[in-house]
Structure 1
Amino acid sequence: MFDFMDMDFNSSDEVTTSGPYIPAVGDCMRCGMCVAGCPTFRLFAIEEETPRRRIRTISKILVENLAISADERLHLDNCLQCRACETVCPSKMAYGQLFDQAQAQLGIKPKGLAKPALRLIENKRWRKRIMPLLALYLKSGMRKPLAKTGFLKWLGLADAEAVLKQPALQAMASRYPTRVARRGCVALFTGCIAEAFDRDTLSSAIKLLNAIGYEVLVPPDQGCCGAIQQHNGQSAAGMIDQNIAVFNTLDVDAVLHCASGCGAMLGEYQSHDIAAAGDFRQRLADINDFLLKHWPDDLQLLPLDLKIAVHEPCSQRNVLKNPQTVYALLEKIPGLNVVPLADNQVCCGAGGSYMLTHPENAVQLRGLKYRAIKEAEADSVVSSNFGCAVFLATDAAPVAHPLSLLARQLPIHGFSD
């Protein structure tokens, strides 16, 4: 891949003004290591659908200041931003950062329903107002009849509607004290959509943290991490600054995230206030890592005789780089047989909003993952990212967060609702 050794995107908080260095195509090692792991290359098997070709398009945008063709734009937009190429690139290319910069440089303007959807994600008050209406619709029995009319497909909402489930309507408390000997206090990042649609995971996180002696704060003024906006060429600066300001005012031992997709974004927060962003990132931790590190020796979980297959989200494998933590945590359940899904290195197709913007590609990749799930012959599947779990779940085979499984095996005394 292209040589980025002169640029260290992770070692300093200082902002460079010269822009990213992208050498000429002749400097590419041509090792091809990025090709095999690229999910869109798996689908199309053409050079245009590889990271090394996309980086040339990004070079045109960011360095050469040239217009790109419609075909180049198509192949660039087909990228799921799984960042698998980063993990194998010998030149340590910061592909994710460069991709976001290119999207922003293109000046993308949301079209159709994308604009109100992004606003809904950003605006917590709007989400609170619409959730009761969604809950009423889901209980009304109108889903199947409406789907048959084709009206949702005509509106472009069919794919989004298909992954809907009953939202939690009650607001979360701002403080959850522990009932055992207090060891400290942490803050929980709840995200935007997950706060309503993945309440089970958040509740499980709180139960587990309380069980190991930590009080949990859930600041109500926190908002969306900004990942969807930034990956789609929109500014996430306001959301970034808001979250940094909210969490930096708290006297806590750590700021924890449950969804690996959010964690990947939070861990790369940049702000005009460099010191504040650094302080925020320093206290940030994946909840799986935190639980494993602070798990008390005397906390024994109830046994469970099941086979569990672990789906490893791209954000966990390629950005957070901590998939093994989930296996180590699940091993704390006596009797549990834990196995990885085959081809975990290949994206499931969810890709944040990708499953909605590129449903055809996403469904093909999901089909490959369904095959791996079937071959695993497991009783259940777990995933540490909300978007992946929603996209992979079916009525017959729900996909849960590992925290939900762990929380259900807590001993009854002191940890029930």
Structure 2
Amino acid sequence: MFDFMDMDFADSSALPTSTGPYIPDASECMRCGMCVSSCPTFRLLAVDEETPRRRIRTINKLLIEDQAISADEQQHLLNCLQCRACETVCPSRMAYGQLFDQALLALKRTPTRLAKWGLWLITYKKWRRRLMPVLAIYLRSGLRKPLQRSGLLRKWALAEAEALLTPPALSSLAAYYPGKNTNRGQVALFTGCIAEHFDRETLQASIRVLNAMGYEVLVPPQQVCCGAIHQHNGLPAETMMAKNMAVFNALSVEAVLYTATGCGAMLADYQSDDNQQSAHFKQRLQDINDFVLKHWPQQLNLRPLKEKAAVHEPCSQRNVLKNTTTVYALLAKIPDLQITSLADNSICCGAGGSYMLSHPDNAAKLLSMKKQVIAAAEADILVSSNFGCTTFMHTDTQKLLHPMCLLDRQL
């Protein structure tokens, strides 16, 4: 319990800085327990092994003591959703997310054959695009329900992924979209990888909103996946980081905008051997909600909407980017719209990037809890700024929209 007393407080480099999290030695965890109640897996399983403080002990073994960990310790470590809610309450401002990523790299795990295939498709855009017509044919063929009933999808470990499928966009986005009426400047849009095909509605709505505001939108076709899925599965993402920084830094734009907060959290953490390159990239990087709110033209009016909207705050937005208030201010521009915060926003919905596929049982339990909260909200619309969350939380009773989609509908 008193492990923190071994800390050398005379060493000023080990102390937290005045702003933001830092990366201390994992042994510096104070074991205060403040993170316990914020952890989704502890809420699910109610055992101390499923808390951030116990995972920090495992991370300490890997990174500081250079010790092997047991199978149980590894399992409890990998049960983490990486929601980083623990960072928001940690008195030491410990950068748990970065320590966790370092620990995954140290484990040197070999992905399953299926995971390797999925990561390969995420990496290589050309082959991913070639797969989309096949998926579209499958969804239209009538084979879906018989295949689901057959049990083969579960046998092949594809059931969870297949259940999330929606008709993909088959065409590519244009590289350039001109603004309307006035030319206020140029912005670039980061599309993501899976979202480029399965969240086309949000991307197109974002472009229309930006165009209506007078901005030209560039969509560089050379951009690639942000790298979050790779990094959070213990694989290097430096190649994707370097590619995206080179592509967007070459553009003369006012801002680089992302629509999915999960991607934004990764993009905001980009690092490079060339500090100037990464600094230039991050200097122009903005959440599209922030940019639109800041630059909204006074003469651009929205149609009234007499409905109730509940706002879901993704973990990446709440715990990493820390810009949840923007969405509420943006939606307030819609006359007559009743806006409320979804209860229990501090607890992850269970999507967690690829967690919904790698830990389907835990994810399903968290989703069940979240859907109870959604039903209790009695809202007409559920608003969320992260593609992974909206895909996973799909309901049959509420419209589930990105803020840009709702603004676009009311233009």
| Equivalent residue number for residue 26 of structure 2 | 22
Could you tell me which residue of structure 2 aligns to residue 116 of structure 1? 117
Q: Give the match for residue 64 of structure 2.
A: 63
Aligned pair 1:6/2:31, yes or no?
no
Gapped regions of structure 1 (runs ≥ 5): 411-417
Retained in 2: the 8 A contact 1:20–1:63?
Answer: no
Listed as ranges, the matches of 1:86-235 within 5 Å are 86-235=87-236
Which residue matches 1:415? Answer: none
Partner AA of 1:310 in structure 2: V
Residue 344 of structure 1 deviates from its aligned partner by 0.3
Q: Is the 8 A contact 1:188 1:217 kept in 2?
A: yes
Q: Distance in 2 between matches of 1:343 and 1:33?
A: 17
The CA RMSD measured in Å over matched residues stands at: 1.8
SS in 1 for 2:26: coil
Structure 1 residue 58, shift from structure 2 partner: 0.5
Distance in 2 of aligned mates of 1:188 and 1:10: 29
Q: Look up the equivalent residue of 2:193 and give its one-letter code.
A: C
| One-letter amino acid of the counterpart of residue 40, structure 2 | P
Aligned partner of 2:115: which letter? A
Segment drifting more, 108-117 vs 70-79: 108-117
Aligned-residue offset at 1:274: 2.0
TM-score, structure 1 normalization? 0.93
Q: Could you tell which deviates more after superposition, 393-402 or 139-148?
A: 393-402
Deviation at 1:7, TM superposition (A): 5.7
Displacement of 1:31 after TM fit? 3.0
> 1:196-222 deviations in whole A, cap 9, x for unaligned?
000000001101111111100000000
Length-normalised TM-score, structure 2: 0.95
Deviation string 1:342-372 (CA, Å, 9 cap, x unpaired) is: 1000000000000000000000000110010
Note the alpha carbon deviations across 1:278-337, whole angstroms, 9 max, x for none. Answer: 110111000000000000111110001110111100000000101110011001000100
Superposed CA deviations along residues 160-207 of structure 1, whole A, max 9, x for unmatched, are 000110001111000001012111110000000000000000001101
* Aligned-pair CA distance for 1:399: 1.7
Matches of 1:302 and 1:221, distance apart in 2 = 37
1:230-249 maps to which residues of 2 (within 5 A)? 230-249=231-250
1:20 deviates by 4.6
User: 1:327 maps to which residue?
Assistant: 328
Q: Distance in 2 between matches of 1:11 and 1:289?
A: 20
Instruction: Map 1:267-306 onto structure 2 (within 5 A).
Output: 267-306=268-307
Distance between the aligned counterparts of 2:182 and 2:133, measured in 1?
Answer: 38
CA distance in 2 between counterparts of 1:383 and 1:144 reads 29
In 1, the alpha carbon distance for the partners of 2:283 and 2:333 equals 28
Does the Cα contact within 8 Å between 1:152 and 1:158 map onto a contact in 2?
A: yes
- Between 267-276 and 172-181, the greater mean CA deviation after superposition: 267-276
1:131-171, Cα deviation, whole Å (9 max, x unpaired): 00001111112111110000111000000000110001111
Q: Which amino acid aligns with 1:148?
A: R
Tell me, yes or no, if the aligned pair for 2:227 and 2:266 is still in contact at 8 Å. Answer: yes
In the alignment, what sits opposite 1:403? 404
Structure 1 residue 249, shift from structure 2 partner: 0.1
Aligned to 1:414: none
Distance in 2 (CA, whole Å) between partners of 1:9 and 1:268 is 19
Report the 3-state secondary structure (helix = DSSP H, G, I; strand = E; otherwise coil) of the residue aligned with 1:303. coil
- Residues 1:11 and 1:330: Cα distance change in structure 2 (over 3 Å): closer
Q: Is this contact kept in 1: 2:83–2:316, CA < 8 A?
A: yes
Q: The residue matched to 1:256 in structure 2 has which SS?
A: strand
Structure 1 CA distance, aligned partners of 2:209 and 2:334?
13
The offset of 1:10, in angstroms, is: 8.0
Q: Which runs of 4+ in 1 moved over 4 A?
A: 1-5, 7-12
CA deviations over 1:215-251 (Å, ceiling 9, x no partner):
0000000000000000000010110000000000000
CA distance in 1, matches of 2:252, 2:387: 28
Shift of residue 394 of structure 1?
2.8
- Tell me if the contact between 2:81 and 2:352 (Cα under 8 Å) persists in the aligned partners: yes
Deviation at 1:397, TM superposition (A): 3.5
Residue number in structure 2 paired with 1:250: 251
Between the aligned partners of 1:35 and 1:184, the Cα distance in structure 2 is: 47
Distance 2:397 2:298 in 1: 36
* Cα offsets for 1:96-149 (capped at 9, x unmatched): 000001101111111120001000001100111000000111111211111000
Distance 2:407 2:14 in 1: 42
Query: CA contact under 8 A between 1:191 and 1:224: conserved in structure 2?
Result: yes
Aligned in 2, Cα 1:245/1:322: closer, same or farther, shift over 3 Å? Answer: same
- What secondary structure does 1:366 align onto? helix
